[in-house]
Structure 1
């Protein structure tokens, strides 16, 4: 069994650029059953077309659903470096902050099995990727200068 990393942030993990770094908001590590802001924990995997490696787990103290955005800061800081986070729901402030970090929130209903989501992602990585996954892998491969070149090609302007 792999030793899970004890890191201050997912960004500290050394992961192959061809792996998708996916966090799951889960109380037990088996199903996605937590709202992002009040999640008691996140389970992070490195996923490619054929393997899924548990990388890290982080627990958070129980939070009140009080609209206090400060409770998001430790979660956002820890998840920096993830590509995607699956959760039962996520508020607007958290969604905006995740996107700024380059983490794509994915809302799933009904407490799906983490294993099932991993299998679906592996099939997609090995097969025809969605525009979202294509964009994530493109960003991972060409962080820094290439994205500015792409923006220039698209006529992007501030």
Structure 2
């Protein structure tokens, strides 16, 4: 199923406890071929063990590749809430800001296919995830459990 909607920011989407929200810096949605800070677009997928759904595409204006920190702000604001972002390259400042938002930036070379990267994530989700992915999944489970307890508390749930 390929439902793509308009999303003002990733954080507005429901955070799936059993899936990853993964963004790809891509000009066409097929290959990761963009530098984070100057990416013309990000394609956001919800990736689970057996499914991948394109949720949104967000386009950005093209800026000159310089040390302009302001160009990062709209990208960071839109991506907040994502678990992972794949890009062709990412600078140190952007990396620090992504990590502070809880987003794991992954730099990939050679313009790999988005589909192949998704399949690689799914293999890990179905098997033994690498350390970095295991940490993301562990954090998502903690967040999900805390949200359930908060919801029960708001409903006045008692033992």
Residue deviations 1:56-77, cap 9 Å, x none?
1000001111110011000000
After TM superposition, give the deviation of residue 107 of structure 1 in Å: 0.3
Output the TM-score relative to the length of structure 2.
0.88
Residue deviations 1:76-134, cap 9 Å, x none?
00000000000000001100000000000000000000000000100000011111111
CA contact (8 A) 1:9 1:80 kept: yes
Q: Distance in 1 between the 2:56 and 2:123 partners? A: 23
Q: Distance in 2 between the 1:95 and 1:26 partners? A: 18
CA contact (8 A) 1:45 1:52 kept: yes
Aligned residue in 2 for 1:41:
41
Residue deviations 1:129-155, cap 9 Å, x none?
111111101111112997xxxxxxxxx
Q: Secondary structure at the match of 1:6?
A: coil
Unaligned runs of 5+ in 1: 147-158
Aligned residue in 1 for 2:110:
110
After TM superposition, give the deviation of residue 15 of structure 1 in Å: 4.1
After TM superposition, give the deviation of residue 13 of structure 1 in Å: 1.2
Unaligned runs of 5+ in 2: 147-159
Q: Secondary structure at the match of 1:142?
A: helix
Aligned residue in 2 for 1:156:
none
CA contact (8 A) 1:5 1:13 kept: no
- Detail structure 1 runs of 4+ shifted over 2 Å in the superposition: 143-146
Change (3 A) 1:101 1:117: same
Matched, 1:62 2:62: yes
Aligned residue in 2 for 1:11:
11
Matched, 1:30 2:30: yes
CA contact (8 A) 1:23 1:43 kept: yes
For the aligned residues, what is the CA RMSD?
1.5
Q: Distance in 2 between the 1:16 and 1:107 partners? A: 24
CA contact (8 A) 2:3 2:53 kept: no
- Paired positions, count: 146
